[in-house]
Amino acid sequence: PILRIMPGPSLPPPPGLFRPSPQAAPAPLPSSRPTPSPPLTRFELLTAGLIFTGLITVLALAAAVMVQPSLVDHFNPYWPVLAALGFGSTVGGFWWLWWRPR
């Protein structure tokens, strides 16, 4: 054989790898805990529900049109409304996640 692999010495694993080190102490708890955010109001929940419903509706219709392209003609009169719904819910989602006051 060109390369012969010889077994090396059998050493115990380092203390922190497979078993805890005897001198390791648990990490101290932080002195100041973050304050929990207040619960959402009904208006915020309603807004989030409308944004989510708009996004799911537009994505479901887009998937349906990709699967059955003949649906484009069926939805022809509704495309401006669907485009506005998709754009509005996308902007609303960005607003909800990053720009709304907290």
Q: What tens-digit pLDDT sequence spans the chain (102 residues)?
A: 566 666 666 766 665 555 556 666 666 666 666 777 888 899 999 999 999 999 999 999 999 999 999 999 998 999 999 999 999 999 999 988 888 887
Tokens of 6: 């010889």
**The pLDDT value given to residue 3:** 64
Q: What is the pLDDT of residue 38?
A: 85
pTM for the model: 0.58
**For position 13, what pLDDT does the model report?**
61
pLDDT at position 99 is 86
Angle at 14 between CA 9 and CA 20, to 5 degrees: 145
Residue type, 38: P
